Structure 1
């Protein structure tokens, strides 16, 4: 891609934003170590952006074309984090480096399993597909200059804040679930993840065989003059993709080592919404959800908010380096409405689930919790169902438009 002056200035602006943000965190956050967390968040999301990975994107590709490579990179990332956590478990005398003064050990992010898990994951999957991204995807999209992501995160804040209302909070906390978390041995969790990776290779072979049998003759006629990438380029691309997955997993592992848990990206969203309500003269601090919690005037005292802003800046830097900043699909009215509805559902379901894809899937599996696996399956089902329903509605609309067009032909 051509390196223009505009692109150069965008790169400079993104790097300046990163430096400025880290300095602001150093000056405003009550603990200086949070600046390091901001730096880690920036680097991790740069790697995620370079690898073109997203939870929603890999689900969608599996549903549409049977492509499983991105899902495989996700599994590799989770395995790397699991290995980090498993090593730390053998040294219980050590505490998270940034929390040593608090004498606080590593957090167990396992949760009870039940109807609450299923409801939260299914709604999250629906919202993720409509908004074209989970919470991490929304922050990445904002850094990429996507208007749809701005709309989605705004309604996500609304949905998450609605989830803290007493009536809503009482409803989902009353849903059936086990009395305690269901955990499995680390070795079994690792075996499950490796087994899923092997399944992706088998699925890839099946899909390739199908395409060779049924699609190859047509593609040969349509693409006979199109130059295909060389075998060496394909190998290099796969090495880069695996490398970025390993680096992203390593970055999350380092985050766990320093802070003691996978950051809960959505945890800061209702805090942000509650702070807005306080500015408007309301008193959310009296609600059941916020009992025992602090709604800080200085939002940079909230670790989740610090990390979330870092993720946006990391995506901004990566997109300017790649030359993709602003190169997003134009969002028509329908796309904006879908993004708004999806963002609201993601925000609400993250409150029901008490987490998002990073904290539940990655953090949950790293804690050897069954709820991480079940939530992953539920979110995939919700995403698949929404995608298929959307395709069906679009196809019917296209058919009716074609019939109407033929009807006016004399």
Structure 2
């Protein structure tokens, strides 16, 4: 009879993660934020245990014509929509991510797609892989924050460009009609990507779990889950420490962005959730002895991570989020921009894939690409995160 081999924990990493959790709990600005942090920790653990990610799914579709991984990701906003759309419309104190369809969305998503392929991960993927110890993502992360700041400076001008307005199924059809339309659009998007193939049960189950946790994050915070607003805030805080007058910029001058800039870094739900996602990934990876801190990173790889991080930060700010905030959050909110974000990202991914060899990255996701994962980042003209 074969013996059961238990994972050997990486104790220094596990202790570091626990110390990080204790520090966050000590610095938590108010007890009401605890559910947000708890769900974020659970998301970090889930991403690691499920091996959930987006970038490989895009490459599988564009290089091999295999849309199973990317198609399976559509179940995440569909599951989250069961909570986000009706509660966001019927209950007070809850909001949704609804954004206009225009040049900022299309151009920003394309830029993000290039960056996602060069960095080898998206917004959530950057934080999860950083929690797992990836050297590449520890290079990409600060540059992602920098790109978010640069993008925030572009947002006011971008929002003056022509657009087609908002397509909000909830506002047009009510909570239940809007939910039905949202699920139908997500199903149509998934079928277009799948093109007759069918994802594995494991991939669908993983997407559903992420969708359930995203729904819980919505109930805990009052808004759909988002990543990039928190990263942009981190960059803006560092810029202020270095002498930049961020409140003088239009994006940061008033409203929730000004309050976030002046308040504690953990007071913004997106920022707190980003910390929780990273720590949850660290705890899960360390408990299984699966830290990636020993993987080497050459100069070309570091350059690709830095450039990819900047492009993702800029693109996410202009496109109202990344795979989590725009696709998952927008899609679950009944906003058509969430599904169109995926379509607009594909040309950028196509270009990024062709640039990957320049930075020493492979162009094929391999025979078993991980299932995709997921964004948050409305500009100040949109609902606060």
Q: Aligned-pair distance for 1:329?
A: 4.9
In structure 2, runs of 5+ residues without a counterpart are 170-177, 362-385
Partner-residue secondary structure (3-state), 1:187: helix
The structure having more radius of gyration, on CA atoms, is: 1
Bigger fraction of residues in helix: 1
Contact 2:67–2:195 (Cα < 8 Å) also in 1: no
Q: Aligned-pair distance for 1:199?
A: 4.8
Aligned ranges 1:4-403 → 2 under 5 Å = 7-10=8-11, 13-14=13-14, 16-88=15-87, 92=90, 94-95=91-92, 104=93, 106-165=94-153, 168-178=154-164, 180-184=165-169, 185-199=178-192, 202-204=195-197, 238-292=200-254, 293-294=258-259, 295-296=261-262, 298-326=264-292, 329-390=295-356
Partner-residue secondary structure (3-state), 1:25: helix
Contact 1:17–1:313 (Cα < 8 Å) also in 2: no
TM-score, length-scaled by structure 2: 0.81
Kindly tell me: are residues 50 and 69 of structure 1, through their superposed partners in 2, closer, same or farther at Cα, counting changes over 3 Å? farther
Partner-residue secondary structure (3-state), 1:301: coil
The aligned residue for residue 366 of structure 2 is: none
TM-score, length-scaled by structure 1: 0.76
Alpha-carbon distance between aligned partners in 2 of 1:74 and 1:366, rounded to the nearest angstrom: 12
Kindly tell me: are residues 366 and 304 of structure 1, through their superposed partners in 2, closer, same or farther at Cα, counting changes over 3 Å? same
| Aligned residues between the structures | 346
Q: Aligned-pair distance for 1:74?
A: 0.9
Alpha-carbon distance between aligned partners in 2 of 1:374 and 1:314, rounded to the nearest angstrom: 30
Kindly tell me: are residues 393 and 29 of structure 1, through their superposed partners in 2, closer, same or farther at Cα, counting changes over 3 Å? closer
| 1:226-275: CA deviation from partner (whole Å, max 9, x where unpaired) | xxxxxxxxxxx954443332221111111112222213211122322222
Alpha-carbon distance between aligned partners in 1 of 2:294 and 2:190, rounded to the nearest angstrom: 31
Kindly tell me: are residues 67 and 45 of structure 1, through their superposed partners in 2, closer, same or farther at Cα, counting changes over 3 Å? farther
Contact 2:88–2:96 (Cα < 8 Å) also in 1: no
